[in-house]
C-alpha cells in the first residue's frame, strides 16, 4: 500500500491510503496503446472483414472496458493511485519529455466512461453506418477519436495531454467533415478545428509556463507545488490558470467559443454521441479537474471570472435550444449548457460536483444522441418538423429517449437529478448565490426544451413522408444498455450514503496524489433539491401546455413565440455573425497586405533575381561561352581541320612519289648536316 500525505486547502493534514492497482495499474498503459494498434489493423485489414473493420475497434473497446471496470472495482474496494512514465527526451539539463500513464480516481472514471460508452456507441454505429460510402475510414478515424481521448485522460503531464488534445481535435475535424462532398459539412469541420486552434494557443503557452516555472510538466508536481504554495508558482499561478482555462474554453465550448459545437452536428450521429458524451467536449472540464489544486490554492483570483463564463454558457446557450428545429442541434445546445454547469461547479470549488455531472451526463447524453440517430435513421430527416407520432412505431426508441430526457431535465430519481442538485448545493455553499439561481433557471429551460423535443418528435401524428419503423436490435440494444445507467447511476453519490466501507463516488474520485479539499455535504439538501426539482417540473408542465396538443402541421404546434427574444435566439445572439465579421476584418486587411507584399516585395525580389539571372545568362552564353570558349575551340578545330586538309594531299598512294620525297629529304638532311656541323 502507498500512503500520500499532503495538506488540504483548509490546512488540515489528510492521508490518502491507496494501492497501485497491481498488474492492472502498472500495465494500464496497454489501454492507451491498444487503440493505435487497432487503427493500423482497420486500415490494413478492415476492407476484407465482414463489418469493414468495426470488429477490430469493438474488440479493442471491449478489452478496455473490462480492464477499466477492474480498475474501477479496485479503486472502490482498495483505492488506486499509480503513475508510470518513460523518458523520451531531455530538454536542457533538468527538463524531460515523458510519455506515461496515470491511474487514480479521476483517470479511472474517465477510462471507464470513454471505454464503456465508446463500446456501446461503436456497436450502434455498425447498424447506423451500414451502406455508408466510407465505413472502414469512418471506424479508423472513430478509433483515433477514442484513442486520443484515452491518451489525454491517461496523461501524467501537460505535454502528453496536449498530444491527446490535438489528436482529438484532428479526429473531430475528420469525422465532422465525414460527408465532405457537401461544402457545409467540410466547412463545419474547419470551423471546429480553427475555433479550437485559437483556444489551444492558451493551453500551449500555459504548459510552457508550467515547465519553465517548475522544471517539469507533471500534473502531480504541479498539484504538490500548488498545495504547498510554492513561491515560484505563486508568482505566475494566475496567468497559468487563465491560460489553461482559455484552452479548456475551446474544447468544452464555453462562451464565446461555443459557436463550433452546433455546426459539428454535420458529422454522422455516432460521432455526435461520442463527442458530446465521452470525448472531445469533456476534455476541457477534465483539464480543469486535473489541475484543480492550482485553482483551489493559488489561482483563486480568476475563479469568479471562470464562474461568470460558465454561468453565461449554462443559461444563455441553453436558451438557443428553444428555437432549434434540428433534433441534434437541440441536444448540441443542451450539451453546451451542461458543460457550463460542469465548468461553473469546478470553478466555484466543486471538484466532485462538476466531475460527477460529467460522469452522469456521459450516459444520458449518449443515450439521447443515439435515440435521435435512431429517429433520423427512420424518417431520413434531422428536422422535428418532419416527425411526430413516432412513439407508436418506435416504442423502444421512445421510452429510452424519454428516460434520457428525464435524466437531463433533473427529475428524481434519474441520474441528472443527483448530479445537478450537487452543483446547486455547491454554488450556494461557496457563496455564488446569484449564479445558483441562474442555474436553477437553467434547469427550468432544460426541462422545457426537452419536453418540446419529446412532444414534437414522438407525440401527435406523423408529419413526415415515408413509413418510419423501429430500428434494428443492433441500434436499439445500445439504447437500452445506456438507459439503465441514465436512470440509476446517480445513486452512486447521494450525500451521506456510503456503500459499506468503500464510501461513495466522492471517495472514489478523491483517490489522487493530493487531497482536493472541496466541500462535501454530509446529507442531501432536500430544500435545494425541491427547488431544483420544482423548476424542472414547471419546465415540463410549461412544455406540455404549449406543445402536447396536436395540430395540422408541426409549424402550428411549434408556434409559441416570445417577441424580441426568439428572433434574437434564431440569430444565435448574432455570435456567428460577429465571428464571421471578425474573421473578415482580420482576413481582408491581412489578405490585402499579403497580396501587396506578394506583388511588390516578393514578386519584385523574384523579378529582380530573374532579370539579373537572365542578364548573367546572356553574358555567360553570348560573351564567355559563344565568343570566348566556343570561339577558342572553334579556332583550334578550324586550324586542325585546315592543317589536316593540307597534309591529306601528301597522301597520294604512289610509291615513286614517296621514294622521291624520301630521297630528297635525305639529301637535304645530309647537306644541312655538312653545312651546319
**Model confidence pLDDT, tens digit, residues 16-58:** 666 888 899 999 999 999 999 999 999 999 899 999 999 999 9
The answer, yes or no, to whether residue 444 has pLDDT greater than 80, is yes
Q: Does 492 share its domain with 550?
A: yes
Question: pLDDT confidence of 677, banded at 50, 70, 90?
Answer: low
Length of the chain equals 677
Q: Please tell me the least confidently modeled range out of 178-182, 318-322, 349-353.
A: 178-182
Q: Which is more confidently placed, 336 or 183? A: 336
Q: Does 530 share its domain with 612?
A: no
The secondary structure of residue 81, as a DSSP letter, is -
Cβ proximity of 335 and 274 under 8 Å: no
The secondary structure of residue 50, as a DSSP letter, is T
Q: Does 527 share its domain with 603?
A: no
Q: How far, in Å, are 87, 630, 644, 651 from residue 638 at the CA level?
A: 74, 12, 10, 20
Give the torsion sign (CA, 221, 279, 171, 264). Answer: negative
Q: Does 581 share its domain with 562?
A: no
Residue 354's pLDDT is 94
Residue 13's pLDDT is 38
The answer, yes or no, to whether residue 664 has pLDDT greater than 60, is yes
255 domain-assigned: no
385 domain-assigned: yes
- From 540, 570, 600, the end of a domain falls on 570
Q: Does 548 share its domain with 608?
A: no
The answer, yes or no, to whether residue 343 has pLDDT greater than 90, is yes
Q: Does 308 share its domain with 403?
A: yes
Residue 675's pLDDT is 77
194 domain-assigned: no
- Name the residue among 417, 435, 446, 445 with its Cα closest to residue 347: 435
Question: pLDDT confidence of 639, banded at 50, 70, 90?
Answer: confident
The predicted-structure confidence for 275-314, as pLDDT tens digits, reads as follows: 888 888 999 999 999 999 999 999 999 999 999 999 999 9
Cell numbers at 258, concatenated: 461555443
Residue 158's pLDDT is 94
Tell me how far apart the alpha carbons of residues 468 and 466 are, in angstroms, rounded to a whole number. 6
Structural domains in the chain (count): 2
Q: Does 467 share its domain with 581?
A: no
> If you average pLDDT over residues 195-203, what whole number do you get?
91
The predicted-structure confidence for 205-222, as pLDDT tens digits, reads as follows: 999 999 999 989 999 999
The percentage of the chain sitting over the pLDDT mark of 90, rounded to a whole number, equals 61
- The helix/strand/coil state of 14 is strand
Structural domain including 324 reads 302-498+513-570
The answer, yes or no, to whether residue 136 has pLDDT greater than 70, is yes
Q: Kindly report the three-state secondary structure assignment for every residue of 405-418.
A: HHHHHCCCCCHHHH
User: 529 — phi, psi (to 5°)?
Assistant: -60, -40
Residue 11's pLDDT is 35
Cell numbers at 597, concatenated: 507584399
Tell me how far apart the alpha carbons of residues 498 and 492 are, in angstroms, rounded to a whole number. 8
> If you average pLDDT over residues 228-246, what whole number do you get?
93
Q: Does 442 share its domain with 557?
A: yes
Cβ proximity of 117 and 362 under 8 Å: yes
Q: How far apart are the first and last CA of the chain?
A: 120
The percentage of the chain sitting over the pLDDT mark of 70, rounded to a whole number, equals 96
> If you average pLDDT over residues 582-593, what whole number do you get?
77
The residue assigned the cell 565568343 is 627
User: 372 — phi, psi (to 5°)?
Assistant: -60, -40
User: 100 — phi, psi (to 5°)?
Assistant: -165, -155
Cβ proximity of 166 and 149 under 8 Å: no
136 domain-assigned: no
Q: Does 473 share its domain with 594?
A: no
Residue 15's pLDDT is 55
Q: Does 557 share its domain with 599?
A: no
Tell me how far apart the alpha carbons of residues 276 and 261 are, in angstroms, rounded to a whole number. 9
Q: Which is more confidently placed, 12 or 15? A: 15
Tell me how far apart the alpha carbons of residues 589 and 585 are, in angstroms, rounded to a whole number. 7
Question: pLDDT confidence of 10, banded at 50, 70, 90?
Answer: very low
The answer, yes or no, to whether residue 6 has pLDDT greater than 50, is no
Tell me how far apart the alpha carbons of residues 562 and 543 are, in angstroms, rounded to a whole number. 14
Residue 93's pLDDT is 67
> If you average pLDDT over residues 596-617, what whole number do you get?
83
Peptide bond before residue 413 is cis, with ω within 30 degrees of 0: yes
Tell me how far apart the alpha carbons of residues 494 and 506 are, in angstroms, rounded to a whole number. 9
Q: At what angle do helices 351-379 and 105-128 cross, to 10 degrees?
A: 0
141 Cβ partners below 8 Å, 6+ apart? 171, 174, 175, 178
Cell numbers at 598, concatenated: 506578394
State which of 277-286, 451-460, 493-502 shows the largest mean pLDDT.
Answer: 451-460
Cβ proximity of 68 and 108 under 8 Å: yes
Cβ proximity of 427 and 440 under 8 Å: no
Residue 351's pLDDT is 92
Cβ proximity of 420 and 410 under 8 Å: yes
Question: pLDDT confidence of 660, banded at 50, 70, 90?
Answer: confident
Question: pLDDT confidence of 260, banded at 50, 70, 90?
Answer: confident
The answer, yes or no, to whether residue 472 has pLDDT greater than 90, is yes
Cell numbers at 173, concatenated: 475535424
Q: Please tell me the least confidently modeled range out of 153-162, 240-249, 368-377, 644-653.
A: 644-653
The predicted-structure confidence for 518-547, as pLDDT tens digits, reads as follows: 888 888 889 999 999 999 999 999 999 999
20 domain-assigned: no
85 domain-assigned: no
> If you average pLDDT over residues 562-577, what whole number do you get?
90
DSSP sequence for 380-396:
S-SBGGG---TTTT-HH
Average pLDDT over all residues of the chain: 89
Q: Please tell me the least confidently modeled range out of 311-320, 427-436, 602-611.
A: 602-611
Cell numbers at 51, concatenated: 463489418
Q: Does 590 share its domain with 555?
A: no
Question: pLDDT confidence of 650, banded at 50, 70, 90?
Answer: low
- From 548, 570, 592, the end of a domain falls on 570
76 domain-assigned: no
Q: Does 455 share its domain with 584?
A: no
The answer, yes or no, to whether residue 146 has pLDDT greater than 70, is yes
247 domain-assigned: no
Residue 656's pLDDT is 72
Cβ proximity of 498 and 426 under 8 Å: no
Amino acid at each position: 500500500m502507498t500512503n500520500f500525505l499532503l495538506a488540504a486547502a483548509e490546512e488540515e493534514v489528510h492521508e490518502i491510503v491507496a494501492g497501485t492497482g497491481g498488474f492492472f495499474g502498472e500495465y494500464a498503459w496497454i489501454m492507451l496503446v491498444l487503440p493505435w494498434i487497432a487503427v493500423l489493423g482497420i486500415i490494413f485489414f478492415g476492407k476484407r472483414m465482414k463489418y469493414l473493420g468495426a470488429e477490430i475497434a469493438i474488440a479493442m473497446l471491449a478489452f478496455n472496458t473490462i480492464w477499466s471496470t477492474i480498475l474501477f472495482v479496485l479503486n472502490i474496494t482498495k483505492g488506486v493511485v499509480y503513475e508510470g512514465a518513460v523518458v523520451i527526451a531531455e530538454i536542457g539539463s533538468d527538463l524531460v519529455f515523458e510519455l506515461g500513464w496515470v491511474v487514480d480516481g479521476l483517470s479511472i472514471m474517465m477510462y471507464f466512461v470513454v471505454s464503456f460508452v465508446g463500446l456501446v456507441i461503436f456497436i450502434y454505429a455498425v447498424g447506423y453506418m451500414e451502406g455508408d460510402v466510407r465505413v472502414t475510414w469512418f471506424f479508423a478515424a472513430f478509433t483515433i477519436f477514442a484513442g486520443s481521448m484515452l491518451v489525454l485522460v491517461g496523461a501524467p503531464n501537460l505535454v502528453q495531454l496536449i498530444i491527446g488534445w490535438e489528436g482529438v481535435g484532428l479526429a473531430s475535424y475528420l469525422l465532422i467533415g465525414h460527408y465532405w462532398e457537401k461544402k457545409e459539412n467540410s466547412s463545419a469541420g474547419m470551423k471546429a478545428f480553427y475555433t479550437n486552434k485559437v483556444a489551444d494557443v492558451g493551453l500551449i503557452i500555459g504548459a510552457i509556463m508550467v515547465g519553465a516555472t517548475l522544471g517539469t510538466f507533471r500534473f502531480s508536481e504541479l498539484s504538490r507545488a500548488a498545495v504547498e504554495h510554492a513561491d515560484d508558482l505563486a508568482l505566475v499561478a494566475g496567468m497559468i490558470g487563465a491560460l489553461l482555462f482559455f484552452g479548456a474554453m475551446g474544447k468544452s465550448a464555453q462562451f464565446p467559443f461555443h459557436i463550433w459545437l452546433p455546426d459539428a452536428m454535420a458529422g454522422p450521429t455516432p460521432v455526435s454521441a461520442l463527442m458530446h458524451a465521452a470525448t472531445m467536449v469533456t476534455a476541457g472540464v477534465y483539464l480543469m479537474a486535473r489541475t484543480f489544486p492550482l485553482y483551489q490554492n493559488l489561482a483563486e483570483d480568476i475563479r469568479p471570472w471562470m464562474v461568470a463564463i460558465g454561468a453565461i454558457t449554462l443559461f444563455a446557450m441553453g436558451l438557443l435550444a428553444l428555437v432549434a428545429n434540428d433534433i441534434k442541434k437541440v441536444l448540441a445546445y443542451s450539451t453546451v449548457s451542461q458543460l457550463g454547469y460542469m465548468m461553473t461547479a469546478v470553478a466555484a470549488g466543486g471538484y466532485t460536483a462538476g466531475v460527477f455531472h460529467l460522469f452522469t451526463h456521459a450516459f444520458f447524453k449518449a443515450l439521447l444522441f443515439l435515440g435521435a440517430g435512431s429517429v433520423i435513421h427512420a424518417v431520413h430527416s434531422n428536422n422535428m418538423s418532419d416527425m411526430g407520432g413516432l412513439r407508436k412505431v418506435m416504442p423502444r426508441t421512445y421510452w429510452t429517449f424519454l428516460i434520457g430526457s428525464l435524466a437531463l431535465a433533473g427529475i428524481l430519481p434519474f441520474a441528472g437529478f443527483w448530479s445537478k442538485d450537487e452543483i446547486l448545493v455547491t454554488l450556494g455553499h461557496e457563496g455564488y448565490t446569484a449564479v445558483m439561481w441562474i442555474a436553477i433557471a437553467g434547469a427550468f429551460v432544460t426541462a422545457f426544451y426537452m419536453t418540446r423535443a419529446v412532444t414534437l418528435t414522438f407525440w401527435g401524428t406523423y408529419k413526415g413522408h415515408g413509413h418510419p419503423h423501429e430500428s434494428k436490435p443492433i441500434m436499439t440494444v445500445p439504447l437500452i444498455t445506456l438507459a439503465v445507467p441514465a436512470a440509476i447511476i446517480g445513486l452512486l453519490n447521494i450525500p451521506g450514503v456510503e456503500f459499506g466501507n468503500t464510501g461513495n463516488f466522492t471517495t472514489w474520485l478523491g483517490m489522487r496524489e493530493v487531497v482536493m479539499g472541496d466541500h462535501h455535504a454530509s446529507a442531501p439538501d432536500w430544500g435545494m433539491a425541491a427547488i431544483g426539482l420544482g423548476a424542472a417540473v414547471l419546465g415540463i408542465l410549461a412544455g406540455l401546455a404549449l406543445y402536447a396538443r396536436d395540430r395540422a402541421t408541426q409549424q402550428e404546434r411549434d408556434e409559441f413565440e416570445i417577441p424580441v427574444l426568439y428572433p434574437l435566439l434564431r440569430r444565435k445572439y448574432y455570435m456567428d455573425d460577429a465571428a464571421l465579421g471578425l474573421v473578415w476584418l482580420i482576413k481582408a486587411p491581412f489578405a490585402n497586405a499579403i497580396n501587396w507584399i506578394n506583388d511588390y516585395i516578393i514578386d519584385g525580389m523574384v523579378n529582380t533575381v530573374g532579370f539579373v539571372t537572365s542578364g548573367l545568362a546572356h553574358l555567360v552564353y553570348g560573351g564567355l561561352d559563344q565568343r570566348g570558349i566556343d570561339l577558342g575551340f572553334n579556332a583550334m578545330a578550324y586550324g586542325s581541320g585546315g592543317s589536316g586538309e593540307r597534309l591529306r594531299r601528301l597522301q597520294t598512294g604512289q610509291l615513286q612519289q614517296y621514294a622521291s620525297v624520301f630521297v630528297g629529304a635525305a639529301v637535304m638532311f645530309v647537306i644541312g648536316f655538312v653545312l651546319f656541323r
